[in-house]
Amino acid sequence: MDAESFKRMFLPCHAKLYGVAYRLLENASDAEDVLQEAYLKLWSKREELTVISNPEAFAVTMVKNMCFDLLRSGQYLSDRQSLPLTEEVQRVGLSSDGWETKEDARVVKALIARLPLQQRLVITLRDVKGCSYEEVERLTGLNSVNVRVLLSRARKKIREEFTKWNNYESR
């Protein structure tokens, strides 16, 4: 496959690939890095790609898996997690003003970071980023039942841990 064929095959889906990477990583520069790495992988395997019937789906799956691999690396989340959790803090019934909210948001963020990977991804996509259930299913590759179960377990765990923390703090 020559460079022109490669460009015709993969560049039209660049916006979609970037969107997937950005939604999962929540960081523009990291999404760009993943895309660049994905294009390099695709280019190195360009001769094998001629047998793929749906190059866009192949590329989306590759980018999604690369993002999941990056998210699985423990250091990535602790270094990069900068989620605006105002809605999550308000959802669990906390005050919306001043220092307490910032501290509560920090605690909720830390609790989310300690969840198992799939729960962390599902709650981040659904509750923090505001994705629909269908979007969460599409981005994670999970079915609707799995998404709802993981989301329920993640919310319950955060609620329990936050209540423990809040009760400890009030003593």
68 in the same domain as 130: no
89 in the same domain as 66: no
Report the CATH number that the domain containing residue 19 is assigned in CATH: 1.10.1740.10
93 in the same domain as 65: no
| Structural domain range at position 100 | 81-170
Which of 77, 107, 139 is a domain's end point? 77
Which of 22, 54, 77 is a domain's end point? 77
Tell me the two tokens of residue 13.
Answer: 């889906």
pLDDT digits (tens, 9 = 90+) for 122-156: 888 888 888 888 888 888 888 888 888 898 899 89
* Closest to 122 measured CA to CA, from 94, 153, 97: 153
86 in the same domain as 112: yes
Pair 20, 56: CB distance under 8 Å: no
Q: Please, what's the largest Cα pairwise distance for the chain?
A: 68
C-alpha atoms less than 13 angstroms from C-alpha of 16 in its C-beta half-sphere: 14
Which of the four pLDDT bands, split at 50, 70 and 90, describes residue 94?
very low
Q: The pTM is what?
A: 0.49
98 in the same domain as 63: no
70 in the same domain as 85: no
Ranking 6-10, 20-24, 138-142, 163-167 by mean pLDDT, the lowest is 163-167
Q: Give the pLDDT confidence score for residue 16 in this predicted structure.
A: 92
DSSP conformation letters of 84-133? --HHHHHHTT---SHHHHHHHHHHHHHHHHTS-HHHHHHHIIIIIS---H
**Per the structure, how many domains does the chain have?**
2
How far is Cα 71 from Cα 84, in angstroms, rounded to an integer? Answer: 18
